[in-house]
Amino acid sequence: MQQNPDFQQPPVPKASARPDSMPSRASTLRTIKLVLAYDGTDFSGWQRQKNGRSVQEELEKALSKMHGHEIRVNGAGRTDAGVHAMGQVASFYTDIQSIPADRFTLALNKLMPRDVRVLSSEEAPADFHARFDASLRRYRYFLVCGGTPDPFALRCAHFVPYYPRVAVLNAMAAVVLGEHDFSTFASAQDKSPSRSRHISESVFFFEGEKLVYQVAGNAFLWKQVRSLVGTMLELERIAESPAHGESLMRELLDSRDRSKAGATAPACGLFLWNVEYGERVHGHPRRHSEEAYG
């Protein structure tokens, strides 16, 4: 498809942009919202990088081929190398009028590699932004416990050779609910101006043979979820009871000392499960510079 000579790709708004500073766009442009799933094993992460294969790059390559000119996309969460997604959300502007919004799903999947799939596509409001408009991000971390796991399970789950006490894990998981400074569980390289995040879900449960940690919040610090999982697994081994585990976890959270946290759990078990949009009850207003890592 030939490029419209009057088309100019709108600049990608910076994290600090406010709604009233959004770029003006030609009336021919539409905003498309995509939901994607991907196996992150062979990716360097969501975000385009100078060295390494990224999900964003694969999606932008497919869109640029469709349009005949460069297309840039915005993602709801910056998943790290090896992290998967079942409900990543991306948005972009298109000047193609001949393709109904829901048909981008089929068209893109014909151009995308097998480890990335577009699950749905729809037209969104003109100023919709996948990252800045998200009100909640939900992650799941999968663990295979005991026995001898098959190699396919290990691609998308972390293996622990025993069965942790779920009651102790949930006593610790409940500690992080609400608004807290999560400095203890942030990577030392995290550059977020604030370490405060609001967590609305934090629970362990079995789903079939896999142990799942589900956590949801307005946003997350870099490697926060994996640090929480690794720390809780370590504390479960020494906690004498659920109450003791809760006390240990609260002490760590309140310390705001990264050196006291446990080892960061491997990326293979983590999934960006889904992203929700709507009125943001917690956290900062839309288009604030708050990061959205996983």
- Number of C-alpha atoms within 13 angstroms, CB side, residue 18? 1
CA distance 23 to 11: 7
98-149 confidence digits (pLDDT tens): 999 999 999 999 999 999 999 999 999 999 999 999 999 999 999 999 988 8
The helix (H) or strand (E) run that includes residue 35 is strand 30-38
Beta partners for residue 31, in sequence order: 93, 124
Tell me the backbone φ, ψ of residue 66, rounded to 5 degrees.
Answer: -65, -40
Q: Are 116 and 129 in contact (CB under 8 A)?
A: no
CA distance 65 to 68: 5
More confident residue, 283 or 206: 206
How high is the pLDDT of residue 194?
86
The helix (H) or strand (E) run that includes residue 34 is strand 30-38
How high is the pLDDT of residue 198?
96
54-102 confidence digits (pLDDT tens): 999 999 999 999 999 999 999 999 999 999 999 999 999 999 999 999 9
Q: Which of 20, 80, 95, 190 is catalytic?
A: 80
* Cα torsion 106, 55, 281, 199: sign: positive
pTM for this structure?
Answer: 0.87
**Residue 80 among the catalytic residues:** yes
